[in-house]
Structure 1
Amino acid sequence: MLGFSVYLHNSLNQEDIKIFHKFVDAGFKGVFTSINLPEDDPKVLLKNLKKLGNLCFENQLELTLDISLSALKRLQLDLSKNIKIFQQLNVTMLRIDDGISIEEVAQLSTKMKVALNASTIERPDIEKLKLLKADFDNLEAWHNYYPRENTGLDKEWFEARNQWLKDNNFRVMAFVPGDINLRAPVYKGLPTLESHRYQNPLSSAIAMKTMNVDRVYIGDPALKDSTFEQFKQFFVNDILQIRANFVDAPSYIEQVFHQRADVSQDVVRLREGRSLNQAIVLPLNNHLRSRGAVTLDNRLSGRYQGELQIVKRQLSADSTVNVIGQVVDNDIELLNYCIANQAIQLVDIGS
């Protein structure tokens, strides 16, 4: 499940609502927000939370609210007495931060979904929740995001942690960063994994699917329009959209192709390439093929003329192969997800 973040320190303006609907259109199904920042005005927070809750209800999105004991005190709320307020605001899950006891978590879980801190929950906590008859169907484990560079989680630790959480029947959530309008005050993205901080958000989101993550949320409040389109194509239409710069490319280069069922070690072979080619391909640009090079076999390759490939690792020059394009640096990692029969669309960013 995909989700995104909305922050409540300012009123939701028309631009915020426009971005909200871009996420919805791209297939996102959940929203994360927080009331934990001490500098935020409690009255403004509750007003904006109500507006956000209504938007989520209208668009059938889940709304998760990050809470802490100090935030509840600032808003003069008591979890044991005011749970209905959150439900009336269309909050579907509470993400528990500092100061809230295991006893309160167990009680809350009998009334609504509750997300625990994925990094800090331990075996004794789980045993205590069982003794307190918590509803484990309503419990999930959510990782933090890490605004400061070099503080994001280690991938190996993260994978091992997620396996332990899954072994204990938790659904797992993690954040990947956005790529525009990065959140203040650090402006370095909001990833869970440090290795994702400056990656394409789509490649990070797909990677999370391989690491026992059930929910992937964008930590920052926005994505570039081209990234929205990549998410929509992949998660709604199952098309992996890869951007590239082209020179002397055939007219059909931006149609939807498919990786062959038999996956090659060195290249992505686009199975429709040869059947689409109706012209004599003259030898041109027969230079070294770097990772991400898009190539077209020329007439010297005989029956392979017209074969379209994307190079997965550096290959030497070949007189039978023309280099017609290069995948942009930010999309190179997407080559890792060109699995068997994957639909792939090459987008010429120069067109």
Structure 2
Amino acid sequence: MLGFSAYLHSSLKKADLVMFDKFVKAGFKGVFTSINLPEDDPEVLLANLKSLGQLCAENKLELTLDISSSALKRLNLDLPRDIKTFQDLHVAMLRIDDGISIQEMAQLSQEMKIALNASTIVQSEIDELKSDQANFDNLEAWHNYYPRENTGLDVNWFNEKNQWLKQNGFKVMAFIAGDENLRAPVYKGLPTLEENRYENPLVAALNMNELGVDRIYVGDPAITATTFEQFRNYFVEDTLQIRVHLNQAPDYIQSIFHQRADVSRDVVRLKEGRLLNKTEIKPLNSGLRRRGSITLDNVLAGRYQGELQLVKYQLPADNTVNVIGQIVDADIGLMKYCVANQAIQLIDIES
């Protein structure tokens, strides 16, 4: 499940509504927000939460609210006494930050979904939740995001922790960073894993999916228009869009291709390449094939003329192979997800 973040420091403006609509069209199903920032005016927070909740209800999006005991105190609210206040605001899940006891969390889980802190929960707390008759069908484990560089989680620790959480029956959630309008005050992205901080958000999302994460949320409030298209095409159309710089490429190069059913070690072979080619391809620019190169076999390749490939690992020059383009650096990681029969579209962008 994909989700995005919307913050409550200001009312929803036209630009926010446009961004919201783009996320919905790109296949996102959940929204994360927070009332934990002490500098935010409590009355403004609740008014904006009401607007956000209504918008989520209209778009059938699951709204998760990050709370803490200190934030509840500022709003003159108490849990579990005031749980209906949040339910009336269309909040579907409460993400518990701190200051709320295990017994209270167990009681809350009888009424609605509760997200525990995935990074800090330990076995004794799970045992206590069981003892307090928590509804584990309503419990999930959500990781934090880390605004400051170098503080994001280590992937090996993260993977081991998640395996343990899943063994205990939890769904796991984690954040990836956006790539536009990064959140103040640090402006370095809001990822869970440090290695994802500056990656293409789609690469980061597919990495999370590969790690078995159940919910993947963009921590920052925005992604770029081209990233939206990549998400929409992959998660709605099942087509992996890869941005490239092309040079003297055939007209059909931006068609929808498919990785062959038999996956090669060194290259992604686009099976329609030879079928689409109708002309003699002269040898041209047969140089070093760097990682991410796009290549087209020329007439010297005989029956392989027209073979179209994406290069996974650097390969030497070959006079039968023309280099016709290069995948942009941010999208090279997408080659890892060119699985058997995957639909692939190369999108030429300005150099």
Common topology (TM > 0.5): yes
| 1:120-160, Cα deviation, whole Å (9 max, x unpaired) | 11100011111111000000000000000000000000000
TM-superposed CA distance for 1:75, in Å, is 0.3
Which amino acid in structure 2 is aligned with residue 23 of structure 1?
Answer: F
Q: Distance in 1 between matches of 2:350 and 2:200?
A: 19
**Aligned partners of 1:10 and 1:48: how far apart in 2?**
7
Give the Cα–Cα distance (whole angstroms) in 1 for the partners of residues 80 and 287 of structure 2: 69
- Contact kept, 8 Å, 1:289 with 1:315, in 2: the verdict is yes
Q: Which residue does 1:254 correspond to in 2?
A: 254
- Is residue 283 of structure 1 aligned with residue 279 of structure 2? no
Contact 1:97–1:117 (CA under 8 A) maintained in structure 2: yes
Give, in angstroms, the shift of residue 265 of structure 1: 0.5
Counterparts of 2:280 and 2:55, CA distance in 1: 55
Query: 1:52 — aligned with what?
Result: 52
Deviations 1:7-30 (A, max 9, x none): 000111110111011000100000
For residues 163-197 of structure 1, the C-alpha deviation after alignment (integer angstroms, 9 at most, x for no partner) is 00000000000000000100000000000000000
Which runs of structure 2 are paired with 1:39-188 in the superposition (5 Å)?
39-188=39-188
Distance in 1 between the 2:304 and 2:330 partners?
Answer: 30
Unaligned runs of 5+ in 1: none
Q: CA deviation at 1:258?
A: 0.4
In the alignment, is residue 270 of structure 1 matched against residue 293 of structure 2?
A: no
Cα distance in 1 for residues equivalent to 2:237 and 2:2:
14
Structure 1 residue matching 2:24: 3-state secondary structure: helix
1:147–1:188: 8 Å Cα contact kept in structure 2?
A: yes
CA distance in 1, matches of 2:350, 2:273: 21
Amino acid at match of 2:166: K
Alpha-carbon distance in structure 2 between the residues aligned to 1:69 and 1:350: 50
Residue matched to 1:12 = 12
CA distance in 2, matches of 1:282, 1:212: 46
Q: Measure the CA separation in 1 of the matches of 2:47 and 2:314.
A: 55
CA deviation profile, 1:275-322 (whole Å, cap 9, x unmatched): 000010000010000000000000000000000000000000000000
Three-state SS of the structure 1 residue aligned to 2:164 is: helix
The amino acid across from 1:121 in the alignment is I
Q: Give distance in 1, aligned partners of 2:151 and 2:13.
A: 32
Query: 1:210, CA displacement in angstroms?
Result: 1.3
User: How far does the alpha carbon of each residue in 1:312-346 deviate from its partner, in whole angstroms, 9 at most, with x for none?
Assistant: 00000000000000000000110111111111000
CA RMSD of aligned residues (A): 0.7
Tell me the amino acid that sits aligned with residue 309 of structure 1. Answer: Q
Contact 1:246 1:350 in 2 (8 A): no
Give the TM-score normalised by the residue count of structure 1.
Answer: 0.99
Stretches of 4+ aligned residues off by more than 3 angstroms: none
**Counterparts of 2:332 and 2:153 in 1: how far apart (Å)?**
22
Q: Residue in 1 aligned with 2:314? A: 314
Q: Using the TM superposition, give the Cα deviation of residue 211 of structure 1 relative to its aligned residue in structure 2, in angstroms.
A: 1.0
SS state at 2:211 partner:
coil
The number of equivalent residue pairs is: 351
**Which residue in the other structure is 2:189 paired with?**
189
Per the TM alignment, residue 212 of structure 1 is displaced from its structure 2 partner at its CA by 2.0
The 8 Å contact of residues 166 and 212 in structure 1, kept in 2 or not, is answered as no
SS in structure 1 at match of 2:347? strand
- Distance in 2 of aligned mates of 1:310 and 1:134: 51
Distance (Å, rounded) in 2 between the aligned partners of 1:256 and 1:137 = 41
Structure-1 residue corresponding to 2:305:
305
TM-score, normalization: structure 2? 0.99
User: More deviation in 64-73 or 247-256?
Assistant: 247-256
Measure the CA separation in 1 of the matches of 2:192 and 2:206.
14
**Cα separation, 2, equivalents of 1:88 and 1:80:** 14
Give the CA deviation at 1:80: 2.0
For residues 212 and 347 of structure 2, the distance between their equivalents in structure 1, rounded to whole angstroms, comes to: 30
Q: Find the residue that maps to 1:79 and give its secondary structure.
A: coil
CA distance in 1: counterparts of 2:306 and 2:80, whole angstroms: 68
Is 2:224 the partner of 1:224?
yes
Residues 58-113 of structure 1 deviation map (CA, whole Å, 9 limit, x = unaligned): 00000000000000000000112110000000000000001010011000000000
